[in-house]
Amino acid sequence: MQTRLQEMKETAIEQIRQAADAQQLQDLRVKYLGKKGELTELLRGMGSLSAEERPVVGQLVNEVRGALEAAFAAKQDELEQALLSAKLASQSIDVTLPGRPIPTGTMHPLSRIIEELEDIFIGLGFEIAEGPEVELDHFNFEMLNLPKDHPARDMQDSFYITDEILMRTHTSPVQARTMLKKGGKTPVKIICPGKVYRRDDDDATHSHQFTQIEGLVVDKGIGMSDLKGTLLSFARQMFGENQQIRLRPSFFPFTEPSAEVDLQCFNCGGSGCRVCKHTGWIEILGSGMVHPRVLEMAGYDPQEVSGFAFGMGVERIAMLKYGVEDIRHFYTNDVRFLRQFNRG
Ligand code: DAH
């Protein structure tokens, strides 16, 4: 019996080595180790052995089983490796094939303009300030020299939430908030970009929600020339280095004097065209010297310090810069419109 076992082991191992594929290997496994396999058959024959022989043969059977299992495992490994190598060899990857384009989103033109504006003003030494969109009447109007029943409140039709709370109609309340936070210290030099809300009917140039950027500078000895110099520098960085601006007298309750700032028409260079309605100039923002009452209410002595402020509509700047003729394009999110701003 021992010799038969030895022989079986040798033939089996030889056959396993020769197996050409997984199927042949599986067949051999059944043939030797299966329920009706040769090794199992031999085990059945152990009943006829003497008591002395039994443990010796039993141990040998276990050894043979172990050797066969090891041989099966090694062969299986070998076959799998061979399969993998064959697969790798047959499938080559063409690294020169162009990739499939993955469409990505693009930065919204308004975000782009806001970033550009922020970069320009940060370059001029300004800091970015923020304030709430749901605002107190107190900051939106009162602190800006617009007491209740002031006729100028009509310039900004508002969405009121309660008698004292509204959606801010402009970013100017951030002026008062910033000055109060500074506690009378100078210099104050901030811009504040943000959303504002007005009870307007939407059309090509009006939107019930739009974006403004507020600017405020307060320090000793600030004059109208600082206002003009700052805004000229901004206009040239935004619209081209040969830009001219002009200041036109205007009225805002929170500035005195107040000025509307016009940009020389970049379309016709000032000679008059459709874009500038044949005036040669395009209005881009409101500004002025901070009203002494506003400084006082926010804790500054108007005898000691002065300041200038300005506010502009971001959509308007974007429309002028990119030649967009309808403000609603910024909010309807037509990808054909938005994609045009994807310049990488
Ligand atoms: N808040 C004004 C508006 O929404 C814009 C403005 C004008 C802001 C003059 C200013 C300013 O700070 O000085 O129409």
286 lines ligand 1 (CB under 6 A): yes
Q: Are residues 272 and 211 in the same domain?
A: yes
**Residue 103 forms part of a structural domain:** no
Q: How many Å lie between the centroid of ligand 1 and the Cα of residue 211?
A: 12
Q: Are residues 84 and 178 in the same domain?
A: no
Q: Are residues 275 and 166 in the same domain?
A: yes
**Residue 95 forms part of a structural domain:** no
Q: How many Å lie between the centroid of ligand 1 and the Cα of residue 208?
A: 17
173 lines ligand 1 (CB under 6 A): no
The better pLDDT of the pair 27, 249 is held by 249
Q: What is the mean pLDDT of residues 118-142?
A: 98
Dihedrals φ, ψ of 91, to 5°? -105, 105
CATH number at residue 207: 3.30.930.10
Q: Are residues 116 and 202 in the same domain?
A: yes
Q: Are residues 145 and 63 in the same domain?
A: no
Structure confidence at residue 155 (pLDDT): 76
Q: What is the mean pLDDT of residues 200-220?
A: 95
Q: Are residues 36 and 166 in the same domain?
A: no
Q: How many Å lie between the centroid of ligand 1 and the Cα of residue 286?
A: 5
Counting atoms of ligand 1 from 1, which one is nearest the CA of 254?
Answer: 13
**Residue 76 forms part of a structural domain:** yes
pLDDT tens-digit map of 28-37 = 888 888 888 8
Q: For a pLDDT cut of 90, what percent of the chain falls above it?
A: 58
Structure confidence at residue 344 (pLDDT): 54
pLDDT tens-digit map of 292-305 = 999 999 999 999 99
194 lines ligand 1 (CB under 6 A): no
Domain end among 90, 123, 149: 90
168 lines ligand 1 (CB under 6 A): no
Q: How many Å lie between the centroid of ligand 1 and the Cα of residue 338?
A: 29
Q: Tell me how far apart the terminal alpha carbons of the chain are, to the nearest angstrom.
A: 82
Q: Is the pLDDT of residue 15 over 90?
A: no
Q: Are residues 138 and 283 in the same domain?
A: yes
The better pLDDT of the pair 252, 4 is held by 252
281-290/306-313 β-pairing: antiparallel
72 lines ligand 1 (CB under 6 A): no
Mutate to test the pocket of ligand 1, among 143, 170, 177, 294 (most ligand atoms within 8 A of CB): 170
Yes or no: say if 42 and 4 are a contact pair by the CB < 8 Å rule. yes
306 lines ligand 1 (CB under 6 A): no
* Of 245, 241, 239, nearest in space to 266 by CA: 239
**Residue 189 forms part of a structural domain:** yes
Helices (H), 124-204: 137-140, 173-182
Domain end among 36, 61, 90: 90
Q: How many Å lie between the centroid of ligand 1 and the Cα of residue 190?
A: 14
Mean pLDDT, all residues of the chain: 91
Q: Are residues 33 and 152 in the same domain?
A: no
> Which residues fall within 8 angstroms of residue 30, CB to CB, at 6 or more apart?
37
**Residue 320 forms part of a structural domain:** yes
**Residue 46 forms part of a structural domain:** yes
Q: Are residues 308 and 184 in the same domain?
A: yes
pLDDT tens-digit map of 301-328 = 999 999 999 999 999 999 988 989 899 9
pTM: 0.72
Structure confidence at residue 57 (pLDDT): 82
Which residue, judged by its Cα, is nearest atom 3 of ligand 1? Answer: 170
**Residue 265 forms part of a structural domain:** yes
Which residue, judged by its Cα, is nearest atom 6 of ligand 1? Answer: 311
Band (pLDDT 50/70/90 cuts) for residue 121 is very high
Q: How many Å lie between the centroid of ligand 1 and the Cα of residue 290?
A: 10
Separation CA 144–CA 292 (nearest Å): 10
211 lines ligand 1 (CB under 6 A): no
Instruction: List residues bridging with 193 in a β-sheet.
Output: 213
CA torsion angle 120 122 126 131 (round to 10): 90
Q: Is the pLDDT of residue 102 over 90?
A: no
Q: In total, how many domains does the chain have?
A: 2
Domain hosting residue 139, numbered range: 109-341
Q: For a pLDDT cut of 70, what percent of the chain falls above it?
A: 99
Q: Are residues 66 and 121 in the same domain?
A: no
140 lines ligand 1 (CB under 6 A): no
Burial of 293 (0-12, 13-18, 19+ CB in 10 A): middle
315 lines ligand 1 (CB under 6 A): no
Q: Is the pLDDT of residue 225 over 60?
A: yes
**Residue 254 forms part of a structural domain:** yes
Yes or no: say if 312 and 287 are a contact pair by the CB < 8 Å rule. no
Q: Are residues 306 and 335 in the same domain?
A: yes
170 lines ligand 1 (CB under 6 A): yes
Structure confidence at residue 247 (pLDDT): 97
Show the tokens assigned to 272.
């008059």
Counting atoms of ligand 1 from 1, which one is nearest the CA of 171?
Answer: 1
Separation CA 295–CA 292 (nearest Å): 5
Structure confidence at residue 281 (pLDDT): 95
Q: Is the dihedral of CA 269, 275, 280, 282 positive or negative?
A: negative
Structure confidence at residue 4 (pLDDT): 82
Yes or no: say if 190 and 213 are a contact pair by the CB < 8 Å rule. no
198 lines ligand 1 (CB under 6 A): no
Domain end among 55, 90, 125: 90
Q: What is the mean pLDDT of residues 105-118?
A: 93
Band (pLDDT 50/70/90 cuts) for residue 21 is confident
Q: Are residues 193 and 316 in the same domain?
A: yes
314 lines ligand 1 (CB under 6 A): no
Structure confidence at residue 343 (pLDDT): 65
Which residue, judged by its Cα, is nearest atom 4 of ligand 1? Answer: 170
